[in-house]
Structure 1
């Protein structure tokens, strides 16, 4: 069965975006501060990171078979122009599927039955590869449902003060983690991996 993990670039004080969805220029500076190119499935979008971060991204891309995101992210990115930059199928958890496109195609599947159904659909699509769930509300729902195996953090050296936390309003705390089981030091970012204790 595929592993379910979540990952996000996060500030030192725990935010994946700043107030009013700001701060991305600080959080994602590591995507362009190196000399190793990592192409994406989006035309014109090539990341330029340190060698260590490029190897980290390559492994993540090779192991990921499907994504689970919320409708807010899907709308905010305009559906990534029809294909996610990782070039894998995306399961969109939503209360209201869009009316201007099919409920399922090779790029996107819209699920309305809850987080368990969304992860089950993503597992079918991923096969033995990882299912990666978006940070924030989707990650919290997965954690509370006992579906999450790992948490990956790309820790950026910035304090945002407030905004959207990686995890918020957890129903049961504390949540124990094992690790970090892996630490990769890039330029302007430290990549950390933790296992969720069940």
Structure 2
């Protein structure tokens, strides 16, 4: 059965997007090979994204690398939103509640990962006890402001355990 994995690249101060969702800061950090990202991409069967992430900024906008995983991902996408478009994009399913979105993404992924994109959806999955793993990549930059990789007013503590045999910063979520 599919596992839910939240992956993102963050600044060293914990932001996955700059102010207003700006992703341009990431462009210079996406050069070169990344065996962990390649391993992840090979094992992703579906993407679950929030509407802000799905329709938001792309560090590769306007290039051949636009889209998830630098334009290399071609598969099912489930978008969690209360405001679906009138004419959805081909290959994209828009769902209005978390549990249905997760179920549809897991079914689409088969025995591969559902890659969760977007801090808000990841937070909802954690709060619902649905997220299985977290993989963070870190870029050598401090943004100072923006969208945090995990932000929950009141300071929710989430325990994580390193996954043996996987890259650094790849963790299992412990509930």
TM-score range, shorter chain: 0.7 to 0.9
**1:196 CA displacement:** 0.5
**Does residue 62 in structure 1 map to residue 42 in structure 2?**
yes
Distance 1:148 1:126 in 2: 15
Aligned match of 1:164: 147
Counterpart CA distance in 2 for 1:25 and 1:73 is 14
In the other structure, the counterpart of 1:75 is 55
Q: CA deviation at 1:28?
A: 4.0
| RMSD (CA atoms) | 2.6
- State the partner residue of 1:150: 133
Counterpart Cα distance in 1 of 2:54 and 2:7: 17
Shift of 1:170: 5.7
Give distance in 1, aligned partners of 2:88 and 2:147.
Answer: 29
Show the counterpart of 2:21.
21
Q: Which residue pairs with 1:7 in the alignment?
A: 7
Match of 2:123 in 1: 140
Q: Secondary structure in 2 aligned to 1:76?
A: coil
The size of the alignment, in residue pairs, is 167
Please say if 1:108 is aligned against 2:92: yes
Cα displacement (A) at 1:8: 0.4
Higher RCO (Cα < 8 Å, 6 or more apart): 2
- Aligned partners of 1:94 and 1:110 also within 8 Å: yes
Q: Does 1:196 align with 2:173?
A: yes
Aligned in 2, Cα 1:28/1:2: closer, same or farther, shift over 3 Å?
Answer: same
Are the equivalent residues in 1 in contact too, given 2:12–2:140 (CA < 8 A)?
yes
Q: Identify unmatched segments of 5+ residues in structure 2.
A: none
Q: Does 1:87 align with 2:87?
A: no
Rg larger in structure = 1
TM-score (norm 2): 0.84
What is the CA–CA distance in structure 2 between the aligned matches of 1:97 and 1:173, rounded to whole Å?
Answer: 30
Q: Which runs of 5+ in 1 are unaligned?
A: 33-48, 185-190
Mark the CA change 1:170 to 1:87 in structure 2 (over 3 Å): closer, same or farther.
farther
TM-score (norm 1): 0.75
